[in-house]
Structure 1
Amino acid sequence: MYTTHAHVTTWVIAIILFVIAFALYKSGNTKGSKIVHMILRLFYILVIITGGILFFKFQSTFGPALYGMKLLGGLLVIGMMEMILTRIKKGKGTGLFWLLFIIFFVAVLYLGFVKLRMGLHPFG
């Protein structure tokens, strides 16, 4: 259960850092955006580590296919976050990546909170 809380905490902080980095890139604050982006990359690693611990701890008990899908979806969410920030930094379009980010993020939240409820019960 504590690993679940650590995982949720790290990805919530990662989302907050992502929004801050995005806003800094959009405002033209190059130095601040680079710093926040590097801290965000550290949190990507923490999210992957805590998610990996959960995967290996629970996947054999509650359904390996769903946990595998959640693991893949989580990696795709991180990939889309990185693509969005990198393309914003380069001045390129991000519309498709935002769409994919939202789809993957909603799918991972659904799998994590609704289908694979491991100690967290936000919806009842």
Structure 2
Amino acid sequence: MGFLTDTTHMHIFTWVVAIVVFLVSASMAKGTKGKKITHMILRLFYILIIISGAALFFVHMSLDSMLYGIKFVLGLLTIGFMEMVLVRGNKGKNTGFMWILFVVFLLATLFVGFKLPLGFNFFA
């Protein structure tokens, strides 16, 4: 399982692909077959994000337990709001507030993730 925990490359790859697939799925017309397929692919990437994130969390949480825990919760909330945007959009409900919450939690997750000891130091 070293490929999951040695570096953050696998985890970053999965969430970047998930965000792209999410934006593609959100921009498709509701009720189409393509939207259903991209939504199912996105759900697969949710699982991959959680597995790679959990592996990093359990191996490296001794570096800064609180910050890793906060990032883990923020990541789960981001995934939850991604799913809520798509599901509410398919049901024809208003998604404006969910989009705002998704962006806020995504930015918070990225900020905390980059501040982690294993993350990239963009803010130095």
Q: CA deviation at 1:14?
A: 0.2
The TM-score, its normalising length taken from structure 2, stands at 0.89
Residue of structure 1 in register with 2:120 after alignment: 120
Within the alignment, does 1:72 sit opposite 2:73 as a pair? yes
Residue of structure 1 in register with 2:103 after alignment: 102
State the AA in 1 paired with 2:111: Y
Residue of structure 2 in register with 1:58 after alignment: 60
Provide Cα deviations, 1:15-69, integer angstroms capped at 9, x if missing partner. Answer: 0000010011xx34610000000000000000000000110111112x1111111
Unaligned runs of 5+ in 1: none
The TM-score, its normalising length taken from structure 1, stands at 0.89
Unaligned runs of 5+ in 2: none
State the AA in 2 paired with 1:104: F
Provide Cα deviations, 1:78-100, integer angstroms capped at 9, x if missing partner. Answer: 00000000011111001111111
In 1, Cα distance between the equivalents of 2:119 and 2:109?
16
8 Å CA contact retained: 1:59, 1:67: yes
State the secondary structure of the residue aligned to 2:62. Answer: helix
Residue of structure 1 in register with 2:112 after alignment: 111
Tell me the C-alpha RMSD between the 2 structures.
1.6
In 1, Cα distance between the equivalents of 2:66 and 2:102?
21
Q: CA deviation at 1:3?
A: 4.0
Q: CA deviation at 1:123?
A: 4.7
The number of aligned residues is: 120
Q: CA deviation at 1:122?
A: 4.0
Residue of structure 2 in register with 1:15 after alignment: 19
More helix by share: 1
Within the alignment, does 1:6 sit opposite 2:10 as a pair? yes
State the secondary structure of the residue aligned to 2:8. Answer: helix
State the AA in 2 paired with 1:5: H
Q: 1:46 aligns with which of 26, 45, 48?
A: 48
